[in-house]
Structure 1
Amino acid sequence: MTRHFPISAILLCCLSIAQTHAGKANMLRSSATSIVLGVEGSKIIGKVVEAGNSNAVSFATVALMAARDSSIADGAVADENGVFSITNVKAGSYLLRVTNMGYQTLTVDKIAVNAEANVVDVGTLVLTSEATKLNEVVVRAEKTMIINDIDKKIVNIGQDMLATSNNVSDLLEKVPAVSLDENGNPQVRGKGNVVVLIDGKPSSMYGNDLPTILKSFPADLIERIDVMTTPSAKYEGDGASGVIDIITKKTKIQGVNGGGRLTLGNKDNYNGSGNVSLRRGKLGVNASASAAIRNRYWKRTLDRVNLLSEETTYLSQNGTGGNYDGDLFGRFGINYDFTEKTTLSGGMNYSRNYFVNTTDYLNLTTNDASTVLEEFTRTSDQDGIGDNMNMYVDLRQKFREKDHLLSFTASYSIGGSDSDTDFEQVGNLASLLLSQQNNKVNDRKSIYLNSDYTWPVTPKATVEVGVRARFNTDDNTNSFFIYNPESEDYLFDPNISNIFSYSDALYTGYSTFSQKTDLWGLRAGLRVTDYNQTINQVNINQSFDVHFLTLVPSLAVTRKLSDAAQLKLNYSRRVQRPNAAWLNPFTDVSDPRNLNTGNPNLKPEFTHKAELGYSNYEENTGFGPSLFMDYSNNAITRIKTIDEEGISTSRYDNVGRELSYGFETDFFQRIGETVKINASGRLFRSEVVSALAQIDNRTWSYSGNVNAFIKLPLDFRASAYINYEGPRAVAQGKREGVMVANMGLRKNFMERKATLSLSVQDIFLSRAYKTQLATSTYLQNSLWQQTNRQMSLTFQYRFGKISASSDDA
Structure 2
Amino acid sequence: MKNIRFLNVTALILLVYTFPTLSTISIASATSAKTPHADGGKLVGKIVESPTHAAVSFATIALLMSKDSALVNGVVSDENGIFTLANVTPGKYILRVTNMGYQTLFVPNVSVATEANLVDLGTITITPEAQKLNEVIVRGEKSMIVDDIDKKIVNIGKDMLATSNNVSDLLEKVPAVSLDENGNPQVRGKGNVVVLIDGKPSNLYGSDLPTILQSFPANLIERIDVMTTPSAKYEGEGASGVIDIITKKSKIRGTNGGMRLSLGNKNNHNASGNVSYRAGKFGVNASLSGNTRGMTWKRTLSRDNFISESTSHLEQSGEGANKGKNAFGRVGMNYDLNEKNSIEAGVNYSMDNNRTNSNLLNETSLTPGVVSERFRRLNNGSGNGHNLNFNFDYRKKFDDKDHQLTFTSSYSLGGSDGESYYVQESVIDSLMRNQQNLRDNNRKSLFLNTDYTWPITPKATLEVGLRSRMSSNDNTNSFYNKNRETGGYEFDQNISNVFGYNDATYTGFMTFSQKTDLWGMRAGLRVTDYNQSIDQISINREFKVHFLTLVPSLAVTRKLGESSQLKLNYSRRVQRPEADWLNPFTDVSDPRNVRAGNPNLRPEFTHKAEMGYSNYEASGGWGPSLFMDYSNNAITQIRTIDASGISLSRYDNVGREFSYGFETDFSQKIGDILKLNGSGRVFRSEVVSTVAQIDNRTWSYSGNLNAFITLPADFRASAYVNYEGPRAIAQGTREGVFIANMGIRKDLLEKKATISFNVQDIFLSRSYKSQLNTATYAQNSYWQQTNRLVNLTFQYRFGKISASGDDA
The two structures have a TM-score, normalised by structure 1, of 0.84
Provide the residue aligned with 2:48 in structure 1.
3
Q: Can you list the C-alpha shifts for 1:395-419, whole angstroms capped at 9, x where unaligned?
A: 0011232221111112110001010
Provide the residue aligned with 1:267 in structure 2.
266
The answer to whether the 8 Å contact 1:8/1:803 transfers is no
Q: CA deviation at 1:658?
A: 0.1
Change (3 A) 1:537 1:286: same
Provide the residue aligned with 1:145 in structure 2.
144
Tell me how far apart the structure 2 counterparts of residues 496 and 737 of structure 1 sit (CA, whole Å). Answer: 36
Provide the residue aligned with 1:671 in structure 2.
670
The answer to whether the 8 Å contact 1:8/1:136 transfers is no
Tell me how far apart the structure 1 counterparts of residues 102 and 729 of structure 2 sit (CA, whole Å). Answer: 51
Alignment of 1:361 onto 2:353:
no
Q: CA deviation at 1:218?
A: 1.2
Change (3 A) 1:358 1:676: same
Q: CA deviation at 1:773?
A: 0.2
Provide the residue aligned with 1:321 in structure 2.
320
Opposite residue 629 of structure 1, the aligned amino acid is M
Q: How does 1:469-488 map to 2 (within 5 A)?
A: 469-488=468-487
Change (3 A) 1:76 1:9: farther
Provide the residue aligned with 1:312 in structure 2.
311
Opposite residue 750 of structure 1, the aligned amino acid is L
Tell me how far apart the structure 1 counterparts of residues 697 and 104 of structure 2 sit (CA, whole Å). Answer: 59
The answer to whether the 8 Å contact 1:299/1:321 transfers is yes
Q: CA deviation at 1:681?
A: 0.4
The answer to whether the 8 Å contact 1:255/1:803 transfers is no
Provide the residue aligned with 1:807 in structure 2.
none
Q: How does 1:626-641 map to 2 (within 5 A)?
A: 626-641=625-640
Provide the residue aligned with 2:60 in structure 1.
none
Q: CA deviation at 1:586?
A: 2.4
Tell me how far apart the structure 2 counterparts of residues 398 and 81 of structure 1 sit (CA, whole Å). Answer: 30
Change (3 A) 1:802 1:237: closer
Provide the residue aligned with 1:573 in structure 2.
572
Q: Can you list the C-alpha shifts for 1:316-358, whole angstroms capped at 9, x where unaligned?
A: 1111111111101011101100011101111111100011110
Q: How does 1:217-256 map to 2 (within 5 A)?
A: 217-256=216-255
Q: Equivalent residue of 1:240, what SS?
A: coil
Provide the residue aligned with 1:547 in structure 2.
546
Q: CA deviation at 1:307?
A: 1.0
Tell me how far apart the structure 2 counterparts of residues 692 and 468 of structure 1 sit (CA, whole Å). Answer: 37
Q: Equivalent residue of 1:469, what SS?
A: strand
Provide the residue aligned with 1:617 in structure 2.
616
Q: Equivalent residue of 2:211, what SS?
A: helix
Q: CA deviation at 1:222?
A: 1.2
Change (3 A) 1:476 1:139: farther
The answer to whether the 8 Å contact 1:8/1:802 transfers is no
Q: Can you list the C-alpha shifts for 1:518-573, whole angstroms capped at 9, x where unaligned?
A: 00000000000000111011011110000111000000000000011000000000
Provide the residue aligned with 1:66 in structure 2.
none
Provide the residue aligned with 1:377 in structure 2.
376
Alignment of 1:738 onto 2:740:
no
The answer to whether the 8 Å contact 1:720/1:742 transfers is yes
Q: How does 1:560-599 map to 2 (within 5 A)?
A: 560-599=559-598
The answer to whether the 8 Å contact 2:304/2:778 transfers is yes
Q: CA deviation at 1:803?
A: 10
Provide the residue aligned with 1:712 in structure 2.
711
Q: How does 1:176-255 map to 2 (within 5 A)?
A: 176-255=175-254
Tell me how far apart the structure 2 counterparts of residues 278 and 82 of structure 1 sit (CA, whole Å). Answer: 25
Change (3 A) 1:318 1:534: same
Q: Can you list the C-alpha shifts for 1:194-233, whole angstroms capped at 9, x where unaligned?
A: 1111111111122211111111111111111111000000
The answer to whether the 8 Å contact 1:469/1:508 transfers is yes
The answer to whether the 8 Å contact 1:4/1:803 transfers is no
Provide the residue aligned with 2:520 in structure 1.
521
Q: Equivalent residue of 1:205, what SS?
A: helix
Tell me how far apart the structure 2 counterparts of residues 545 and 680 of structure 1 sit (CA, whole Å). Answer: 43
The answer to whether the 8 Å contact 2:593/2:647 transfers is yes
The answer to whether the 8 Å contact 1:552/1:572 transfers is yes
Provide the residue aligned with 1:423 in structure 2.
422
Tell me how far apart the structure 2 counterparts of residues 676 and 601 of structure 1 sit (CA, whole Å). Answer: 50
Opposite residue 498 of structure 1, the aligned amino acid is N
Alignment of 1:784 onto 2:783:
yes
Tell me how far apart the structure 2 counterparts of residues 647 and 5 of structure 1 sit (CA, whole Å). Answer: 76
Q: CA deviation at 1:2?
A: 3.6
Tell me how far apart the structure 1 counterparts of residues 796 and 251 of structure 2 sit (CA, whole Å). Answer: 21
Opposite residue 181 of structure 1, the aligned amino acid is D
Matched positions, count: 701
Opposite residue 703 of structure 1, the aligned amino acid is S
Q: How does 1:85-96 map to 2 (within 5 A)?
A: none
Q: CA deviation at 1:473?
A: 0.4
Q: Can you list the C-alpha shifts for 1:294-326, whole angstroms capped at 9, x where unaligned?
A: 011011111100111221111011111111111
Opposite residue 617 of structure 1, the aligned amino acid is Y
Q: Can you list the C-alpha shifts for 1:447-490, whole angstroms capped at 9, x where unaligned?
A: 11111100111110000000111001010110011111222211
Q: CA deviation at 1:78?
A: 12
Provide the residue aligned with 1:509 in structure 2.
508
Unaligned runs of 5+ in 2: 1-45, 56-68, 70-99, 108-121, 804-808
Opposite residue 324 of structure 2, the aligned amino acid is D
Provide the residue aligned with 2:41 in structure 1.
none
Q: CA deviation at 1:241?
A: 0.5
Tell me how far apart the structure 2 counterparts of residues 174 and 649 of structure 1 sit (CA, whole Å). Answer: 36
Provide the residue aligned with 2:84 in structure 1.
none
Provide the residue aligned with 2:95 in structure 1.
none
Tell me how far apart the structure 1 counterparts of residues 633 and 53 of structure 2 sit (CA, whole Å). Answer: 58
Q: Equivalent residue of 2:713, what SS?
A: helix
Q: Equivalent residue of 2:709, what SS?
A: strand
Provide the residue aligned with 2:749 in structure 1.
750
Unaligned runs of 5+ in 1: 11-40, 42-71, 87-97, 102-133, 805-809
Tell me how far apart the structure 2 counterparts of residues 783 and 607 of structure 1 sit (CA, whole Å). Answer: 30
Provide the residue aligned with 1:466 in structure 2.
465
Q: CA deviation at 1:621?
A: 2.1
Provide the residue aligned with 2:61 in structure 1.
none
The answer to whether the 8 Å contact 2:47/2:124 transfers is no
The answer to whether the 8 Å contact 2:131/2:802 transfers is no
Q: Can you list the C-alpha shifts for 1:108-153, whole angstroms capped at 9, x where unaligned?
A: xxxxxxxxxxxxxxxxxxxxxxxxxx64224765101111110001
Tell me how far apart the structure 2 counterparts of residues 150 and 803 of structure 1 sit (CA, whole Å). Answer: 29
Provide the residue aligned with 2:653 in structure 1.
654
Opposite residue 779 of structure 1, the aligned amino acid is A
Deviates more, 1:616-625 or 1:362-371: 362-371
Tell me how far apart the structure 2 counterparts of residues 75 and 739 of structure 1 sit (CA, whole Å). Answer: 50
Q: Equivalent residue of 1:485, what SS?
A: coil
Provide the residue aligned with 1:338 in structure 2.
337
The answer to whether the 8 Å contact 1:354/1:385 transfers is yes
Change (3 A) 1:783 1:9: farther
Q: Can you list the C-alpha shifts for 1:751-806, whole angstroms capped at 9, x where unaligned?
A: 111110000000000010111100011000111111000000000110013799xx
Opposite residue 538 of structure 1, the aligned amino acid is I
The answer to whether the 8 Å contact 1:558/1:568 transfers is yes
Tell me how far apart the structure 2 counterparts of residues 167 and 709 of structure 1 sit (CA, whole Å). Answer: 19
Change (3 A) 1:77 1:681: farther
Change (3 A) 1:178 1:510: same
Opposite residue 375 of structure 2, the aligned amino acid is F
Q: CA deviation at 1:581?
A: 1.2
The two structures have a TM-score, normalised by structure 2, of 0.84
Provide the residue aligned with 1:287 in structure 2.
286
Opposite residue 535 of structure 1, the aligned amino acid is I
Opposite residue 447 of structure 1, the aligned amino acid is L
The answer to whether the 8 Å contact 1:6/1:803 transfers is no
Q: How does 1:24-43 map to 2 (within 5 A)?
A: none
Q: CA deviation at 1:75?
A: 5.0
**Alpha-carbon RMSD:** 2.2
Q: Can you list the C-alpha shifts for 1:602-659, whole angstroms capped at 9, x where unaligned?
A: 1100000000000011121200000000000000111100011110011111111000
Alignment of 1:392 onto 2:437:
no
